[in-house]
Structure 1
Amino acid sequence: MNYNIISTLDEQQIKELYELYQQEWWTDNRKFEDVLLMLENTDILIGICENKTNRLIGFLRVLSDFVYKALIFDVIIHEEYQGKGLGRILLDQVTTHPKLQSVQHFELYCKSDKISFYEKWGFTKEIGDINFMRKTVK
């Protein structure tokens, strides 16, 4: 498969990202306006596009202080392209990203069925006495 790695999204690709979000249970309630604001405040984004059409078929984003933490969000592959190694490409791209080479910890959260996927890059759920916490305000 021929594809391009991108670090910015054009107007059409933003619409395609919104469509990708609509296919997943964990992002299907996002509003388009909120996605635009989110993109404005994302430190790093990595997309995968089809070479011929430039259609967005994979995406992740990172929030980081570029020293201590890089938090990976929204690792998503279009359902038609899952199982073709594109998630691996995204993780390779983010873990070798030049701006993130000084970061002490890459972090993410995922469901149990994805743990073995992320372990291939050295992610572990063994992080000592740390707990994930959330306060919902909307």
Structure 2
Amino acid sequence: MEVSEVEVRDEVGADYLPHLMDLFASAWWTAGPTVSDVTRILAASDLVVALIHRRSGRLVGFARVITDEVYLAVVLDVIVAPGSRGSGLGAMLMDAIVGHPRLAAVRSIELVCQPDLMPFYRRWGFSEQVGRSRLMRRTSDPLLSGT
């Protein structure tokens, strides 16, 4: 799929919910939520970026951000449809996020990723050098507990 065949939107309407469910099912960290869960996730996210394939109308990429628009923004759930990975759509998502006007004045944009994706995110200035900070987690999700 060509990047030129995709448009960026800042919302995911109810008609794209089945597509978003498919995207969530394709990633290990988002697999398993119900439609109700995903509806609540969308409502509670401050910024949503959706990639829609122009011809098919299919949602092929998604990411969301939680932010106070001053000090911190946390990028979550950067997902590209399995058949479209490696085509530049992930970069398109990240360009839309870091270039979004609502995040222009934010002092720190953060995300959590797997080690193999660190080179990808470095292209936008992300670094594993976070001072003395360490990620801590309290979870009931065994996929996220690392055990």
**CA–CA distance in 1 between the matches of 2:124 and 2:35?**
32
- The aligned runs of 1:55-134 (5 Å cut-off) are 55-134=58-137
- Number of residue pairs matched by the alignment: 138
Amino acid in the other structure paired with 1:126: Q
In structure 2, the partner of 1:15 is 18
Deviations 1:20-77 (A, max 9, x none): 1111111112222111101011100001010112210000000000000010000000
Secondary structure in 1 aligned to 2:75?
strand
**CA–CA distance in 2 between the matches of 1:30 and 1:131?**
27
**CA–CA distance in 2 between the matches of 1:57 and 1:107?**
23
**CA–CA distance in 2 between the matches of 1:6 and 1:79?**
20
The runs of at least 4 consecutive aligned structure 1 residues that moved more than 2 Å come to none
- Say which is worse superposed, 39-48 or 21-30, in terms of deviation: 21-30
Amino acid in the other structure paired with 2:33: R
- Say which is worse superposed, 5-14 or 99-108, in terms of deviation: 5-14
| C-alpha displacement of 1:128 | 1.3
| C-alpha displacement of 1:137 | 4.6
**CA–CA distance in 1 between the matches of 2:83 and 2:24?**
14
In structure 2, the partner of 1:31 is 34
| C-alpha displacement of 1:121 | 0.5
Residue ranges of structure 1 left out of the alignment (5+ in a row): none
RMSD of aligned Cα (Å): 1.1
| TM-score (norm. length: structure 1) | 0.96
**CA–CA distance in 1 between the matches of 2:71 and 2:130?**
15
In structure 1, the partner of 2:144 is none
| TM-score (norm. length: structure 2) | 0.90
Amino acid in the other structure paired with 2:108: H
Residue ranges of structure 2 left out of the alignment (5+ in a row): 142-147
